[in-house]
Amino acid sequence: MKALLIGEQREGKLLDSTYELFGFAAQLGAETAMLLVGSESQLPAYSGTLYLADAASCGEYNPDLHKQLLLEAVQRENPDCIVFMHTSYGWDLAPRVAASLKIAQVSEVTGIVGGGLEVGCCNAKMRRTVKPATPKTVITIQAGAFPAGQPGGAPQVQRLAAAANGRLEFVGYEPAEKKEVDLTKAEVIVSAGRGVGKKENIPVVRALATALGGELGASRPVVDSGWVEHSHQVGTTGQTVSPRLYVACGISGAIQHLAGMKKADFIVAINKDKDAPIGEIADVLVVADVLQFVPALTAKIQR
């Protein structure tokens, strides 16, 4: 089994998630080669073959040119699978490559189960396992689903250049509007999940955040329901945070939420379900009703 991993740089900086591709390949038991369009100053610590194309000449993102480069690397390596992170880069480029090669694509893979690929469905409330029906597969993996691999060493670089012009020109990035709350700098975050029940209960969680000198975070359903602003959302479609303390109140621990907060130094989860998945990563799981436990804790801290 051979995997061609598609690394990513953004504005010349190697994304940490590139190492999760190695973690996935290790679980698959696959030999690896990597393709990276970027600058030579930020290469992964990895001793295998690295196909490197210069972002200065073909753009940090240009679907036509990057697809050309990828197909060239596929021709040289003949991999069984081509693996992207499920980022905006991966979800745009992966289907183009799968369509060109006329092979299956499996998106947002969260696990490997008995030779099949596990993906979320029904808004990640359920998981299903699929097996590609073509000998080769294009795969995108969910951020945070696989531990970062640590291959180490220096890559054997083989340079690639795109042959023709693409139909698009990469112009550049523009920073998103400044967030109302910058959770990435917070040392303490207390987050509200759907288990909080209703908008009127959000102040209960906010009071604990204030008592601990921290910020209010939230899971996506809480934001989607309009209980708090999107700038408070933690997870793959919110902010990625790494506070010293993360308190999850009524949050189940879906992979998309964990991807945004599992790097916290210490995690306390308050959940009435003792088997909630968040218990697998929490340092402390308090099995209680948030609406009873949180006000009592806040009062104690305030005292």
Ligand X SMILES: Cc1cc2nc3c(=O)[nH]c(=O)nc-3n(C[C@H](O)[C@H](O)[C@H](O)COP(=O)(O)OP(=O)(O)OC[C@H]3O[C@@H](n4cnc5c(N)ncnc54)[C@H](O)[C@@H]3O)c2cc1C
Which of 66, 206, 220, 232 is the binder for ligand X (CB under 6 A)?
Answer: 220
Q: Per CB under 6 A, does 144 bind ligand X?
A: no
Q: How far is the CA of 226 from the CAs of 195, 253, 290, in angstroms? A: 15, 20, 20
- Mapping DSSP onto H, E and C, the string for 246-266 reads EEEECCCCCHHHHHHHCCCCE
CB nearer ligand X, residue 190 or residue 270: 270
Which of 271, 282, 285, 297 binds ligand X (CB under 6 A)? It is 271
Asked if 236 interacts with ligand X (CB under 6 A), we say: yes
Q: Does 291 bind ligand X (CB under 6 A)?
A: yes
Distance (Å, whole) CA 126 – CA 128: 7
Q: How many residues bind ligand X (CB under 6 A)?
A: 30
The region of 13-21, 38-46, 92-100, 246-254 touching ligand X under the rule CB under 6 A is 246-254
Pairwise CA distance, residues 103 & 268, whole Å: 44
Q: Is 250 in the site for ligand X (CB under 6 A)?
A: yes
β-sheet with 245-249: strand ranges across: 215-218, 188-192, 245-249, 266-271, 284-287
Residues within window 177-206 making contact with ligand X, judged by CB under 6 A: 193-195
Instruction: Identify the residue among 238, 247, 264, 267 touching ligand X (CB under 6 A).
Output: 238
One residue of 33, 189, 247, 276 binding ligand X per CB under 6 A? 276
User: Interaction with ligand X in 123-142: which residues (CB under 6 A)?
Assistant: 123-124
d(CA 76, CA 199): 56
Note whether 251 binds ligand X by CB under 6 A: yes
Shortest distance, position 93 Cβ to ligand X, whole Å:
18
Q: Verify binding: residue 79, ligand X, rule CB under 6 A.
A: no
Residue 175, amino acid: P
17 lies in the binding site for ligand X (CB under 6 A): no
One of 252, 264, 268, 285 touching ligand X (CB under 6 A): 252
Q: Please, which residue, 66 or 220, has the CB nearer to ligand X?
A: 220
Q: E strand or H helix at 27, and its extent?
A: helix 18-28
Q: Which of 219, 240, 243, 268 binds ligand X (CB under 6 A)?
A: 219
DSSP E strands in the chain: the ranges are 2-6, 9-10, 13-14, 31-38, 49-54, 81-85, 104-113, 116-121, 126-130, 137-141, 156-160, 188-192, 215-218, 245-249, 266-271, 284-287
Gap between the Cα atoms of 157 and 146, Å rounded: 26
Hunting for tokens 């790494």 — which residue is that? 242
Residues 6+ apart with CB under 8 A from 288: 270, 271, 272
Q: Which is nearer to ligand X, 62 or 233 (CB)?
A: 233
Instruction: Indicate the SS3 state at residue 68.
Output: helix
* 39-47, 91-99, 110-118, 215-223 -> range binding ligand X (CB under 6 A): 215-223
List residues binding ligand X (CB under 6 A).
123-124, 193-195, 219-222, 233-238, 250-252, 254, 256-257, 260, 270-273, 276, 289-291
